[in-house]
Amino acid sequence: MTSPTKDLIASALLLLIAGLYYAATVQIPVSALGGEVGPHVLPTALAILLGIVGVSLALRTLFARHVAAARTSTSRESEATPLRALGLLAVGALYIPFAWGLGYVPTVFLLIAGIALYEKAAPSWRLAGIALGGAVLFWLLFVALLGVRQPQSMLF
């Protein structure tokens, strides 16, 4: 559990970064050749989402009630160690070579499933369905809706 002060500081930093990022996105020139979704839409949406996360963290911290329930050491989730964070980063870094070899949808499927398994989720058909749904959703969002070109692959 983090302290309320750390959460409020993190919230303020997130809001500052979101504001600076948004200020940078409005500097992106609008092209006369661009369609309805120009190059500024995705960065602007990301800045807004980052601001929402910052506000949500602040509200959760300000309105949280302190529960005096004692947790046993077996039920408490261990803090993330630097080695665990590096493992998660390694799983994410494998996206690039796998996307080149397998293609976007299979690689995102493996990425979602791999991170869930790395975080100790039990292998199941539900996990496979969620990973497949996430991969298809990301493909629909980035490729079909926003027209972002994905890396060419050897298979798909």
Averages of pLDDT over runs of 10 residues in the chain (156 residues) are 78 91 86 70 87 89 58 51 84 85 91 91 95 93 85 73
Domain spans, the chain: 4-63, 82-145
Backbone angles phi, psi at 66, to 5 degrees: -80, 120
pTM exceeds 0.85, yes or no: no
| Alpha helix ranges (H) inside 26-152 | 41-63, 82-93, 95-102, 104-118, 125-139
The tokens for 33 are 């050749």
User: What pLDDT score does 76 carry?
Assistant: 47
Comparing CA positions, the residue from 111, 93, 108, 101 lying closest to residue 142 is: 108
User: What pLDDT score does 80 carry?
Assistant: 65
Q: How would you class 54 by CB atoms within 10 Å of its CB: exposed for 0-12, middle for 13-18, buried for 19 or more?
A: buried
